[in-house]
Structure 1
Amino acid sequence: MLVVAEKDIAGLMTPEAAFEAIEAVFASMARRKAYNFPVVREAIGHEDALYGFKGGFDGAGLALGLKAGGYWPHNQKHGLINHQSTVFLFDPDTGRVSAAVGGNLLTALRTAAASAVSIKYLAPKDAKVLGMIGAGHQSAFQMRAAAKAHAFEKVLGWNPHPEMLGRLKATAAEIGLPFEAVELDRLGAEADVIISITSSFGPLLLSEHVKGPTHIAAMGTDTKGKQELDPALVARARLFADEIAQSVTIGEFQHAVAQGLIAQDAIAELGAVVTGDNPGRGEAEVTIFDGTGVGLQDLAVAAAVVELAKAKGIATSVEV
């Protein structure tokens, strides 16, 4: 088994490589050459943590495996980020474990890449203003990836804890964009593309906030009960997801479905837009991508990292 340590990931996987891997996974899923296994995600009753497994098999890339980990909201006291995970890859021919890869940075990169793919295919063509809801650890990755996917001129930001907005301001300065902290009503009215990346369990962005042609990448909801968007906003938008089954059970669209505001068949796969089998935005005023995070995305970036680590001679071999 090869081990690629978390400390080595930053020198191996770039945002551009992550984007390419995730875009390819969306296409493979739409062509039914790859599929995800059912997600296990549970509160463990200790440290308020959520822990689980996401896995799948990509028959095109021959990637088989799972990501184990979750969310520990009190990790600051340990000097650690809240999201902790490891990706395990297996040989699809024999079932033997082939690699263990640090999954923390990879999770941030693949999550940002997924929203960036949605922006590439669904953003209004003349989009100029990026709105960021959430200023946690992953928000910087999201902003950087979005700026690579589309040419924005300004960033607006909001966070439940305003003292954290410095991260968004610093990231915007890093990529050369002006930043302004605003309230949600102004963000919804002025932003052409909105990324929500919080751990909220209640709607933050309301239907009345969003005006004009807008694309929303809802990236924070990945557990039953979590929620960032008003179901009324979801009900008036054209809807896309990384995986529909996850979207209606643990993703952002679970609430609108539960309230009878939308049917599951109103949701399309983003992969079908990537392959050209779905027209995408069309004449819709508002589009929403529900990025629940699928195991195949983790496997794709982990498999790419393993190959890069082997080429650079920094993958450690361990007998198991």
Structure 2
Amino acid sequence: MIIVPEKAIGELISPSECLAAVEQVFASMARRSAYNFPVIREAIGYQDALYGFKSGFDRDGPTLGLKAGGFWPHNMAKGITNHQSSVFLFDADTGRCRAIVGGNLLTALRTAAASSLSIRYLARTDAKVIGIIGAGHQSAFQLRAALGQRKFERVVGWNVEPDMLKRVADVAAEAGLPFEPVSLDQLGAVADVIITITSSFNAILKADQVRPGTHIACMGTDTKGKQEVEAALVAKATVFTDEIAQSVTIGECQHAISAGLIKDSQITEIGQVIIGKHPGRSSADEITLFDGTGVGLQDLAVASAVVDLAIAKGAAIEVEF
């Protein structure tokens, strides 16, 4: 069995390699060669933690496995990240455990890859201003990945705690772009692309704050009850997602579905756009929305790529198991 520890991940895989792995698995899902198993996600009643499992099988890999972990909101006070997870990969031919891979950085990279893919396939080609709602740990990964998809000229951001926006400003500065903290009204008025990456349980962005032609990547809603944008905004947009089953139950679309504003038949898997079965954006004035719920197959695809790279670079730790 191979072990790839958390500390080794950053040296092994690049954001572009993560994006390629996620793009491939979304395509496999669209071709029905890969599927996710039902998600288990529970509040465990201890340390205010959310814990669960995401798993699946990609026949094209073949890749079989699961990610176990969750969110411990008090971890920052202990000097460790709030999100903690590990990925377990199994040999699809025998069922034996093939590898254990640290899942924290991997989760951040694959989440950013998914939103940047949505920008690549759905945002207007002339998009110039990108807006970020949320300034937590994941926001830096989101912005770095997104900036490679269009020739952005400006970054704007909003966060409930404005001081935290320095994280977003620093990434913009790395790319040589100006950054401006703005109100939600201002952000919606100027942004061509908006990424929401919060842990909110109440709608932050409203339908009347978003102008025609905007692409929105909703990346924070992955649990029943969470919500980043108004249900009316979801209903106003052409909606895409990683997986429809998760979108309507634990994703951003859960609220528009429960309110009867949209039907699941109105949601398209982004994999269908990737493989050319759906045209994606149909006009310059269309509002497109990607509901990124985070599927287990994303984690497995990137973890499998990490294991292959670790073997190729001689960085794999092999143990008898």
Shared fold, TM over 0.5: yes
For 1:99 and 1:207, the matched residues in 2 are separated by 45
Partner of 1:300: 301
Matches within 5 A, 1:142-291: 142-283=142-283, 285-291=286-292
Letter in structure 1 aligned against 2:147: A
Post-superposition offset of 1:28: 0.5
Letter in structure 1 aligned against 2:292: G
Partner of 1:313: 314
Post-superposition offset of 1:212: 2.4
Q: State which drifts further: 309-318 or 65-74.
A: 309-318
For 1:6 and 1:247, the matched residues in 2 are separated by 29
Give deviations 1:214-273, integer Å, cap 9, x for gaps.
000000000000000000101110000000000000000000000000011010110000
Post-superposition offset of 1:205: 0.3
Q: Is the 8 A contact 1:75 1:82 kept in 2?
A: yes
Q: What secondary structure sits across from 1:268 in the alignment? A: strand
For 2:6 and 2:253, the matched residues in 1 are separated by 32
Letter in structure 2 aligned against 1:146: A
Q: What secondary structure sits across from 2:64 in the alignment? A: strand
Partner of 1:88: 88
Give deviations 1:137-171, integer Å, cap 9, x for gaps.
01000000001112111000001111101101011
Partner of 2:102: 102
Q: Is the 8 A contact 1:133 1:194 kept in 2?
A: yes
Letter in structure 2 aligned against 1:315: A
Q: What secondary structure sits across from 2:127 in the alignment? A: coil
Q: What secondary structure sits across from 2:137 in the alignment? A: coil
Matches within 5 A, 1:22-171: 22-171=22-171
Q: Is the 8 A contact 1:38 1:54 kept in 2?
A: yes
For 2:58 and 2:211, the matched residues in 1 are separated by 39
For 1:189 and 1:22, the matched residues in 2 are separated by 31
Identity of aligned residues (%): 66
Q: State which drifts further: 284-293 or 263-272.
A: 284-293
Where does the alignment leave 5 or more consecutive residues of structure 1 unmatched?
A: none
Post-superposition offset of 1:315: 1.2
Post-superposition offset of 1:47: 1.1
Q: Is the 8 A contact 1:189 1:212 kept in 2?
A: no
TM-score (normalizing by structure 2) = 0.99
Give deviations 1:37-71, integer Å, cap 9, x for gaps.
00000101111111000000000010000000011
Q: What secondary structure sits across from 1:148 in the alignment? A: coil
Give deviations 1:173-197, integer Å, cap 9, x for gaps.
0111110000011101110000000
Letter in structure 2 aligned against 1:69: G
Letter in structure 2 aligned against 1:299: L
Letter in structure 1 aligned against 2:141: F
Post-superposition offset of 1:319: 1.9
Which stretches of structure 1, 4 residues or longer, exceed 6 Å deviation after superposition? none
Where does the alignment leave 5 or more consecutive residues of structure 2 unmatched?
A: none
Q: Is the 8 A contact 2:125 2:150 kept in 1?
A: no
For 1:5 and 1:167, the matched residues in 2 are separated by 26
Q: What secondary structure sits across from 2:271 in the alignment? A: helix
CA RMSD after TM alignment:
0.7
For 1:82 and 1:185, the matched residues in 2 are separated by 30
Q: What secondary structure sits across from 2:47 in the alignment? A: coil
Q: Is the 8 A contact 1:133 1:157 kept in 2?
A: yes
